[in-house]
Structure 1
Amino acid sequence: MRWFSILAIYLLFWFLSLFAMLPIGMRTTGEAGGERVPGQADSAPHVFRPWPIVWRTSLCAGVLFGIFYFSYKMGWIDVSLPADAVNRLPG
């Protein structure tokens, strides 16, 4: 596998993990007992701290990518095209 493919697949896992990690540990202003700003959504976080989210996301994506890469190296995931699919490619 080329390094660019590794990077692209890791980034796919990273963004997938980001949307799974965003709500974890968040408390709304109502839950925290604070004053809401006029126009603030009810679901907005009381204090937004991005670095713990980035850390958890990177850790989760690393684990998921590690499982994927191990499966790829063991041959459990086949990325080659079947012979009849090659004949259907344009050009």
Structure 2
Amino acid sequence: MVSAIFSGVAIYFVFWWITLFLMLPFGVRSQHEDGEHAPGTDPGAPVRALMLRKVIWTTIISLTLYGIAAWSYYSGLLNVARLSRLMGFSD
């Protein structure tokens, strides 16, 4: 039971981390695009990263994806035997 909980948390963490990396480029304006260049910084550096907004959206999207994956697993749509058959690894 405990290992199932830790496995679920680990899988959710992977969903969250991948979703965060997908969300990072959205809404970012560089100093070059905005016309505000701080001395000593790269022109491609973001003016505002908007990280709190991205973390909130990352959590919402990853919870949705994790919920779909968990539902698929517990309903029997996503299991090792079925995936092996779909990929052509078993007869």
TM bucket by the smaller chain? 0.7 to 0.9
Match of 2:88 in 1: none
SS at match of 1:68: helix
* 1:11 counterpart = 2:13: yes
Greater shift, 4-13 or 44-53, is seen at 44-53
Aligned mates of 2:72, 2:40 — CA distance in 1:
48
Asked which structure has the greater RCO (Cα within 8 Å, sep 6+), the reply is 1
Displacement of 1:79 in angstroms is 4.2
- Aligned-residue sequence identity (percent) comes to 38
Q: Normalising by structure 1, what TM-score? A: 0.76
- Aligned Cα root-mean-square deviation (Å): 2.0
Task: Provide the aligned length of Structure 1 versus Structure 2.
Answer: 80
Q: Runs of 5+ in structure 2 lacking a partner? A: 85-91
Of 19, 29, 32, 2:31 maps to: 29
- For structure 1, the residue ranges without an aligned partner over 5 or more in a row are 83-91
**TM-score under structure 2 length normalisation:** 0.76
